[in-house]
Structure 1
Amino acid sequence: MNLAHTQPGTVPAGVLDGQVAIVTGSTSGIGLGIARSFATAGASVVLNGFGEADAINATIEGLQGETGAKAVYSAADMTRPDEIAGMVDLALETFGRLDILVNNAGIQHVSPIDQFPVEKWDAILAINLSSAFHTIRLALPAMRRQGRGRIINIASAHALVASPFKAAYVAAKHGIVGLTKVVALETAEENITCNAICPGYVWTPLVEAQIEGQAKSHGIPREQVIRDVLLAQQPNKRFATVEEIGAFATFLASNAAASITGAALPVDGGWTAH
């Protein structure tokens, strides 16, 4: 394949043939982009996340129609370890194996630390960090039985640098990088890898809503919001796409990335190069 002539987010067909992936927080945004990339590459996928039943069914039907891959949905609440165990069981009962785990589920809240709601701190740590601990500990036995596994944690540029007013999110994402390194060391001789992807701003419906909200509140054009507010710290001044993140996750899940483990890998347009 001539990489010089491929579009950003291009996924090689067949590189994940026969594999099974769980992607948390995958009913929209980055998680759905990763699930779609995996399915395009030949993997069966367990989707997870919030949404109306009709919309989720339409997403599954669309994914299967576009890619020919098999997909199922788990409504597991990422704050409940028993439901997370049920999601892993669903993957194993449906497909008979589990090769890839992507921890993508996350929420955000912005507030000064002395005014930060305790319940928001607890929820962010539970969903953004503790859920990854539970999915990993529950997925590892299956990966060990089959002698191969790929664990990919979706962290953030905020796993490497901080911003004001995001105490819980920054703490959780820094914690994800630490967890990633520990798991990588514990599985280093078992053909199991664990890495963290650290995106900057990625174009999603949630970001689009932020642009419109910021433009109205500041009384400035959306182009100025994008360049001077959202992408102020991102030197390339462009959003990454979910397809780019999906393609990168697919590479990390493939045999080509067998020697990459324990890494926190920025996809942030140069943000953390400052």
Structure 2
Amino acid sequence: CATSSRPLPAMSHPKTVLITGADRGIGLAIACRLAAYGWRIALHGLADDAAREAAMAAVRTAGASEVIFLGGDLRDSTATQQLAQAALVWHGRIDVLVNNAGMQYTSPLTEMPAAMWDSIIAVNLSAAFHLMQACLPGMLAAGWGRVVNIASVHGLVASVNKAPYVASKFGIIGLSRAAALETAGSGVTVNAICPGWVETALIEPQILARMRELVLEKQPSGQMSQPADIAEAVAMLCGDWAHNLTGVALPLDGGWTAQYQPPCRAANLAPDISGIRRLW
């Protein structure tokens, strides 16, 4: 996987990192980027043996001091909790948690299989909750930690035929913000990254025929992001210099969400509630 040519800033002692969905694409790019700090990287995924070995080799080459690969079907809460425990046992705690694993399925809401709803919510949202719940105590005890949740532009603006995906991504942003408030001032930060179109296998089937038109329609930049772009944003959020950057939903969307504003704010029509007695 590609690594940045930019010089790396000095970081505090080597960290232990857990990244879900890290056997390819965005997750693997994140792993390689953080490996360049010499950190210990725990990869998670459902890849076969050959793909696992290839991912681990790429992360070692990128500079990781240690690498392990952990499996686990995130649709199963028990398997997710077992993943967390296996990662924690490795070096006693997880310093950096990147919840990257995700899935989606396109269908009108009225035709969406209930089982697909359950799976998408489990992987995209519930798994992040379980892993954060397991990893945050160690971060808080150490007085340092970073949680980065890979959300989506669809956590900021909705899209048709993606109800469970949109719900899960709005949810992961809400989870990130709630956790950021609970950990504020502790040395632990919790943030979300909201990519627009990224060149990964997850979206390729949707855009083969109309890739250019779709990108131009949604992203004013006219350019898709690369997995390495997301990895750079994660590295920034994990730095010691980002200690006061928490509760952020960071768009990496080529200007997609810059086109939208809440109607009241855009039209300066916010109601005057100065005379209303607060009842809550």
TM-score > 0.5 by shorter chain: yes
| Matched residue type, 2:213 | D
| Secondary structure, aligned partner of 2:184 | coil
> Counterparts of 1:188-227 in structure 2 under 5 Å?
188-211=184-207, 214-215=208-209, 225-227=210-212
| Secondary structure, aligned partner of 1:106 | coil
Aligned length: 257
Runs of 4+ in 1 over 6 A off after TM superposition: none
> Counterparts of 1:174-189 in structure 2 under 5 Å?
174-189=170-185
Cα deviation, residue 16, structure 1:
6.3
TM-score (norm 1): 0.88
Please give the per-residue CA displacement for 1:9-53, whole angstroms capped at 9, x wherever unaligned. Answer: 847265365101111111111111111111012211111112111
CA distance in 1, matches of 2:123, 2:12: 28
Match of 1:62 in 2: 58
CA distance in 2, matches of 1:201, 1:11: 27
Moved more, 50-59 or 113-122: 50-59
| Matched residue type, 1:130 | S
Change (3 A) 1:68 1:264: closer
Match of 2:162 in 1: 166
**Please, which runs of 5 or more residues in structure 2 have no aligned partner?**
260-280
Please give the per-residue CA displacement for 1:229-268, whole angstroms capped at 9, x wherever unaligned. Answer: 2442011011111111111101101111110111111000
CA distance in 2, matches of 1:238, 1:182: 32
Please give the per-residue CA displacement for 1:80-130, whole angstroms capped at 9, x wherever unaligned. Answer: 232222222222322233111111111000001111111111111111111
Match of 2:234 in 1: 249
Match of 1:94 in 2: 90
Change (3 A) 1:235 1:17: farther
CA distance in 1, matches of 2:74, 2:7: 28
Match of 2:254 in 1: 269
Cα deviation, residue 76, structure 1:
1.6
Whether the 8 Å contact between 2:40 and 2:64 is mirrored in structure 1 is no
Match of 2:262 in 1: none
Change (3 A) 1:125 1:81: same
Whether the 8 Å contact between 2:46 and 2:72 is mirrored in structure 1 is no
TM-score (norm 2): 0.86
Match of 2:70 in 1: 74
Which structure shows the higher helix fraction? Answer: 1
Indicate yes or no: 2:14 matched with 1:29: no
Identical-residue share of aligned pairs (%): 40
